[in-house]
Amino acid sequence: MDQLAAQSVVACIVNSRARSNQADRLSDRVAELFREHGTRAETVVVGHGSDLVPIARRYAESGCRTIVAAGGDGTVSAVASALVGTPAALGILPLGTLNHFAKDIGIPLDLDAAVESIISGKQRLVDVGEVNGRIFVNNSSIGLYPAIVQERSEHQRRGASKWFAFARALYTVMRRMPHFHASVHADGKYDSSDRTPFIFVGNNPYETTGLDIGERRRLDTGKLWVCRAPGAERLALIGMAIRALFGRTTPGELKLIDAEELWVQTRRNRRLKVANDGEVLTMTSPLHYRIRPKALRVIVPAGTNEDT
The predicted model gives 206-217 an average pLDDT of 85
Rounded distance between C-alpha atoms, residue 204 and residue 47, angstroms: 31
For residues 84, 87, 93, 97, the Cα torsion angle rounded to the nearest 10 degrees is 10
- Give the pLDDT score at 246: 57
Contact 296, 126 (CB under 8 A): yes
CA atoms of 153 and 168, how far apart (whole Å): 11
Counting the structural domains of the chain, the total is 2
pLDDT at site 244: 60
Q: What share of the chain is helix, strand, coil (3-state, %, to 5)?
A: 35, 35, 30
pLDDT for 4 equals: 39
| Domain shared by 277 and 183, yes or no | yes
Which pTM was predicted?
Answer: 0.90
Residues 40-64 pLDDT 10s: 999 999 988 899 999 999 999 999 9
Q: Do 146 and 92 share a structural domain?
A: no
- CATH classification at residue 284: 2.60.200.40
CA distances from 184 to 145, 197, 202, 262, 298 (A): 19, 14, 15, 7, 31
The predicted-structure confidence for 101-143, as pLDDT tens digits, reads as follows 999 999 999 999 999 999 999 999 999 999 999 999 999 999 9
Query: Which domain, by its residues, includes 237?
Result: 136-293
Using alpha carbons, select from 216, 206, 186, 204 the residue that is nearest to residue 295.
204
By the 8 A CB rule, do 234 and 177 touch?
yes
Q: Which of 141, 152, 137, 154 is nearest to 92 (CA)?
A: 137
* 221 inside domain: yes
Q: What is the DSSP string of 122-170?
A: EEEEEEEEEETTEEESSEEEEEHHHHHHHHHHHHHHTT--HHHHHHHHH
